[in-house]
Amino acid sequence: MTTHTETTTTVEYAPERPARLEWAKHAPEVYKAMVRLETAARKGLDHTLYELVKIRASQINHCAFCIDMHTKDALAAGESVERIVQLSAWDESRHFYTEKEIAALELTEAVTVLTDGFVPDEVYERAAKHFEEAELAQVIAAITVINAWNRFGVTCRMTPGHYEPGQYK
């Protein structure tokens, strides 16, 4: 159980749930392949854009472990708290983001929530206006890879809160 002591009161938080499975330990070749895929997907992408995409997909997928990791990495790289806080409602706070970032966030949502149907043409076309084809391919790869990581994190119930920025780089 985690406690937090303020000046005069101690607050008890809910107990931390343990991970269900340390999947990387039991499937090390899959983990290594995912790391290689991650490294390839990030090549040539702006670090800020890359982290925004990863945080937003992780929010949609409810992957607390990845939200914790990528928020900490973004903050350590100089991203503002305000932009991270607004990310869950980016469509209502567009003025915090560039048009290119907005196009990437729209694409992230469309690719992440495929249960709503295919990626709409207008979303893809907007992204294609802001990214050269090679960069757009990398953005799509980054979105796809974070969605895969999210599936591992959520299914295995990886515990957030212990990640240190840059820990897995």
Q: Is the pLDDT confidence value at 81 over 60?
A: yes
Q: How many CB atoms lie within 10 A of CB 29?
A: 7
Q: Is the pLDDT confidence value at 6 over 70?
A: no
What is the average pLDDT value for the chain, to the nearest integer? 94
Contact predicate 131/34, CB 8 Å: no
Q: What single-letter amino acid sits at 91?
A: D
Q: What is the pLDDT of residue 106?
A: 98
Q: Which residues does 17 contact at the CB level (< 8 Å), separation at least 6?
A: 157, 159
d(CA 164, CA 45): 22
Contact predicate 70/58, CB 8 Å: yes
Q: Is the pLDDT confidence value at 147 over 90?
A: yes
- Find, among 102, 51, 96, 54, the residue nearest to 74 by Cα: 51
Q: Is the pLDDT confidence value at 77 over 60?
A: yes
For 96-135, what is each residue's pLDDT tens digit?
999 999 999 999 999 999 987 799 999 999 999 999 999 9
